[in-house]
Amino acid sequence: MKLTLISQLTGLALATLLSTSAIADVTAKFAVTLSDKTHQGQGVARFVDLVDKKSQGRIKIKPFYNGALGNDVQVTSSLQGGTIEFTVPQTSTLTGMVKEFEILDFPFLFANEQDAEKVLDGATGQKLLDKLPAKGLIGLAYWENGFFNATNSKRPIQKWEDFQGLKFRAVQAKISQETIKALGANPVPLAVPELYTALETRTVDGQGTPSAVIAALKLNEVQKYLSLTKHSYGAFVPLVSKKFWDSLPAADQTILREAAVETRAFQRGVARDQAKSAETTMAAKGLLINDITPAERVRMRAQVKPVWDMFTKDVGAELVTEVTGQLSSK
């Protein structure tokens, strides 16, 4: 009788151990567009480390940097299909499936980072994230790409008229292309990995990305001018495949959310530090940098008002009012 009981208990313990070990170790891939040294890459590394610590080593995430698994559109589609578990694109990538995300790409929307944080980290930002599960994605938080500045090989941009006639790279989002048209330039949609060669061969004359990205991609090697237009603000959004998410227990889902939010302040700090140091470094290497006067920035914003009118119809006037009502400069 005792032997039978011991045998049963041993069998139960073994079964429990095997069952626990079967679900304990989670492995996942994290697709990253930029390198591990960038503000994006460092944010991912901090997130991966926090998840590892919070899960006591049960959840292992392997980052793949430099677009090794594909561009943002391809990778996001792979998350929806469940073949990749994590990525962190700019919100522009999501506008094709959730049109309300276009509000974040309205040109000259945010005057400073604090306004962006107020909108993104509050109820409005969460309202947008809540639309993603229906598309097979889970949004964990918002990180920072930064303010977009314009580079080109022709002339310094000091007023909106200086954009006229330039072949200017656009992201795949329609609002990016319409903004470039409104400023008088010709939009050429290109993915990030194609950008350096396109500028080098003069397929395009210029582009707009945050200063830290310009430096990371070494675009200063193939551009002459950097104008601090701050014409758009880019937010990254760490995403999880919903198929993967649904396979996790609630406790592990909580770990992922907490790690993304805890990474946020660190990642934004890196983004801002890298933007400043990038401009200093690139200027030392010969890139000609100019600022835009407040008066000319007002003129630029007035010039793109038709873009606001066009896309307000898409995102809804109520959302536009909700966002602009939170801004320091309205």
3 state SS for 38-98 = CHHHHHHHHHHHHHHHHCCCCEEEEEECCCCCCCHHHHHHHHHHCCCCEECCEHHHHCCCC
Could you tell me if 229 and 149 are in contact, meaning their C-beta atoms sit under 8 angstroms apart?
Answer: yes
Q: Which helix (H) or strand (E) holds 217?
A: none
159-202: pLDDT as tens digits: 999 999 999 999 878 999 999 999 999 999 998 889 999 999 99
CA-nearest of 150, 197, 147 to 170 is 150
Do the domain assignments include residue 225?
Answer: yes
Instruction: State yes or no: pLDDT of 3 exceeds 50.
Output: no
Is the residue at 94 inside a domain?
yes
pTM of the entire structure? 0.88
pLDDT at 224: 98
- The CATH code of the domain that includes 112 is 3.40.190.170
Decide if 252 is inside a domain: yes
Domain assignment present for 192: yes
In a domain? residue 253:
yes
Report pLDDT digits (tens) over 249-277: 999 999 999 999 999 999 999 999 999 99
pLDDT value at position 122? 96
In a domain, 291, yes or no: yes
- DSSP three-state, residue 139: strand
pLDDT in tens, 210-233: 999 999 999 999 999 999 999 999
Cα dist from 131 to 108, 173, 225, 237, whole Å: 25, 18, 39, 13
Locate 168 and state its tokens. 């200017």
Q: In sequence order, which residues have a C-beta less than 8 Å from that of residue 68 and are 6 or more positions away?
A: 31
pLDDT digits (tens, 9 = 90+) for 126-171: 999 999 999 999 999 999 999 999 999 999 999 999 999 999 999 8
* Residue percentage of the chain with pLDDT more than 90: 89
In a domain, residue 179? The reply is yes
> Mean of the pLDDT values across residues 57-64?
97
For 313, the domain range is 24-320
Query: End-to-end alpha-carbon separation of the chain, Å?
Result: 81
Mean local confidence (pLDDT), 52-71:
96
- Asked if pLDDT for residue 17 goes beyond 50, the answer is no
The single residue listed with the structure tokens 């396109």 is 198
Phi-psi region of 202 (alpha: psi -120 to 50; beta: other; left: phi over 0): left
C-alpha separations of 11 from 5, 6, 14, 305 in Å: 10, 8, 5, 71
**Number of domains making up the chain:** 1
Q: What are phi and psi of 117, to 5 degrees?
A: -60, -40
**Residue 254 in domain:** yes
